[in-house]
Amino acid sequence: MSIPIKTIERMSLYRRVINRLVEAKKETIFSYELGKLINRSAAQVRRDFMEIGQKGNPQKGYNILDLRDALNELMIEPEGQKIALVGIGNLGRAVLTYFMGRSPNLVISAAFDSDNKKTNRVIAGCKCYDIGKMKDIIKKNKITIGIMTVPLTVAQDVADQLVSAGIKSIVNWAPIHIEVPKHVFLENRDITMSIEKAAYFAKK
């Protein structure tokens, strides 16, 4: 089953919304209600759930626990997945603090920096190591995902190191595009660029 990136983005959103509905003890939901919650059409919701084998009941809508299970099966690796974060500046710390404890199956299990004031300690619940140990720790702990919050001058070098350590997906917050081999998934998240882009369209 090959699902497009845009669909996976919606699946991530559905999963969060559905988890809130489970907590609220809601049992069923119609596609138009779910569509409203993520600002998509009911038709889009129905197409997306068809992809993961979910059909609603015309009278009652979808069973929320079934949706949760199907979304978890799609998105979650039962043994869990581990993330390495590289670059413990303001942004790195914010991502650590923001993401820590959000998902029991998706954990930032190591952070790396070249500044020895930031290493050999725990920040926001995460062990921080010298970047020289990165390859070893990533391999030993079977970490497959890398988050880069490093300065642009070292971004490509850090990406190369992550790839050679066996990382399969990179989320890059450094303000530069980096190159990775085709088998590695890359998501670029450049703060300066997103703000400058917004500024460009605001001044028109």
Q: Which residues bind its own copies (CB under 8 A)?
A: 5, 8-9, 11-13, 15-16, 38-40, 74-75, 77, 81, 83, 90-91, 93-95, 97-99, 102-103, 106, 144-145, 147, 152, 167-171, 175-179, 185, 187, 189-203
We find the least distance from the C-beta atom of residue 136 to its own copies, in angstroms, to be: 19
Q: Which is nearer to its own copies, 50 or 152 (CB)?
A: 152
We find the least distance from the C-beta atom of residue 49 to its own copies, in angstroms, to be: 17
We find the least distance from the C-beta atom of residue 50 to its own copies, in angstroms, to be: 18
Alpha-carbon distance of 162 to 146, in angstroms, equals: 7
We find the least distance from the C-beta atom of residue 137 to its own copies, in angstroms, to be: 17
Q: Which is nearer to its own copies, 57 or 195 (CB)?
A: 195
Alpha-carbon distance of 18 to 84, in angstroms, equals: 28
**Could you tell me which of 54, 9, 1 has the C-alpha nearest to residue 30?**
54
Decide if 105 contacts 73 (C-beta within 8 A).
no
Q: Which is nearer to its own copies, 64 or 85 (CB)?
A: 85
CA distances from 191 to 38, 112, 172, 174 (A): 24, 21, 10, 8
Q: Which is nearer to its own copies, 53 or 132 (CB)?
A: 53
Decide if 29 contacts 71 (C-beta within 8 A).
no
Q: Which amino acid appears at position 66 of this protein?
A: D
Q: Which two tokens stand for residue 105?
A: 């199956």
Q: Would you say how long the chain is, in residues?
A: 204
We find the least distance from the C-beta atom of residue 41 to its own copies, in angstroms, to be: 12
Q: Which is nearer to its own copies, 136 or 187 (CB)?
A: 187
